A and B are shown apart, each in its own frame.
Chain A
Amino acid sequence: MPNPIAATFRPYWQYRDLVRNLVIKDLKVRYQGAVLGFFWSLGNPLALILLYDFVFTHIFRSDLPNYILYLVIGVLHYNLFSQAVSQSCESLTSASGLIQKIYFPRILVPTSSLLFTLALWVIAIFILVILYPFLGGIYHWGLLLYPLALGLYIAFIWGIVLTFSVLQVELRDLKHLVDIALMFGFWFTPIGYDIHVLKPTTREIISLNPLTQFMDLFHALLYAGTLPALNHVLIASAWTIGTVTVGMILFRRKARHLVEDL
């Protein structure tokens, strides 16, 4: 018997080109070959950032230096979360045509939905890379840790994506509720404001939001030019282990019989 870990992953590895083809299909269908369409995907976060910048500088005054950078980091990372979670809710139910007709590892459906969102998001992150020095971004060695923080965040999102894609099969109106929750979630996450300006009780409530912990990692690395505090890293890791565990267990238990309820 060779390596048991390799044996566990071999069936998924066999299907790696399925994931790639599904993601490319979604990209092609979305933009139908129009290169301009690709750049439109930048329009949405840009418009949001302008709106929030207006709101937070003219309506609620913010004293944060380099405020736009702070805001851009938050908006982009929150967008990744909200788009991935919202998209993935219907990933399994809308793939029923495939699932009922052929066997392949079902987990690849929500996973490729997440990767599709990620592929679009990478374009948006280019804005940040280009604007970074102009917005007051600091180049420091800690930036090398950013891929790790992002990886942790993606794993956290993946766990939620798995969970919601399975739950949506039973509760077909879940996506509507999730979309509303994502709208509220924005304001319960320190994106346009600094958590330290809040009253202590409010601050504690906002800290319960796992996204607050992740935002702190990104703001520390990309905005403040420091390393994130260890306790934030640990809490974020704990949340990630939590969502991935729940997602995997739920998926394992439900995936075999999913097809009968689609």
Chain B
Amino acid sequence: MPPAIIVEHVSKEFILRHNRAMGLKTRFLGLFHKNKREKREHFLALDDVSFTLEQGEALGLLGHNGSGKSTLLQIIAGILQPSKGRVIANGRVAPLIQLGVGFNPELTGYENIFLNASLYGFLNKEVKKRVKSIIEFSELEHFIDTPLKNYSSGMQMRLGFAVAVNLQPDILLADEILAVGDQAFQDKCLDKIAEMRKNGMSLILVSHSQEQVSKFCDHFIRLERGVMLENGSIGEAWE
């Protein structure tokens, strides 16, 4: 079986644009005023990161704020292009960088399920087959035909999570999404992820909580200012 994800020497350089000229007008002014001109600075957010995730494995991504975890996840999801190196993914990748991407407050919960799922490349007829289990999992049967603007933020997250997990991805990329919602639903989400893992799903989990990572993951990677500091398996030595 080929690995689920291969990350090969991935680097990502952002161009920080101080004083960014947002329009023609500011560009024009920049011709005359030196201090209004845009200054560019190169910033290395990821520096030569390599790892392999075998199918069915779970990897925890640890690191301080700004260490490049989200950037790495966005590159694996194909949202960002790496400046160097490459990523090979075998299977359907579902990024969960935010729950309920594309949710619109004016549409009903039901309509939003279809909109959100089609962003993951699903056809409406495929979603129809799953819509019942999505609604069931979200525990929002009574509200599903009311506009999303009447939902609490916790309810919206429940719906977003219900869609994402019921699309049965091969590889789930979760970016600190489990730190939200009430405890009961959070536990339900974690149970669901554990169940999907048992059925062979691969997982990359970004988390602040060392405890969560040790509970869920076989391996971990620690990033520090874009550099991979540690890369190991979670064994007895882990604390």
Contact = CB atoms under 8 A, between A and B. Distances in A.
What class of interface size applies to chain B in its complex with A?
A: 20 to 34
Contacts of A260: 14-15, 80
Contact of B123 (A16, A99, A174, A177): A16
B115 interface: yes
Given A28-B107, A171-B24, A102 B81 contact: no
Contacts of A98: 101-102, 119
B79 A15 contact: no
A15 B102 CA distance: 15
A163 to B, nearest CB: 15
A171 B114 CA distance: 33
Contacts, number: 79
Contact of A174 (B23, B98, B106, B122): B23
B174 interface: no
B123 A17 contact: yes
B142 interface: no
A259 B107 contact: no
A101 B104 contact: no
A103 B79 contact: yes
Contacts of A20: 118, 124
B118 A15 contact: yes
Given A14-B121, A15-B118, A16-B123, A101 B80 contact: no
Interface string B77-118: 111110000000000000101100110101100010011001
What class of interface size applies to chain A in its complex with B?
A: 20 to 34
Interface in A85-104: 97-104
Contacts of B77: 102-103
B98 A15 contact: no
A170 to B, nearest CB: 9
Contact of A32 (B14, B27, B106): B106
Interface string A165-188: 000000111100100000000000
- Majority secondary structure, A binding face: helix
Interface in A207-262: 256-257, 259-260
Contact of B119 (A18, A28, A256): A18
A173 B24 contact: yes
6 contacts: A21-B118, A28-B106, A97-B102, A101-B101, A103-B79, A172-B23
Nearest to B125: A17
A99 B122 CA distance: 17
A16 B114 CA distance: 13
B133 to A, nearest CB: 19
Contacts of A18: 118-119, 121
Contacts of B119: 18, 98, 102, 104
B25 interface: yes
Interface string B40-60: 000000000000000000000
Contact of A177 (B24, B78, B115, B120): B24
Given A18-B119, A21-B115, A256-B81, A102 B101 contact: yes
A100 B74 CA distance: 8
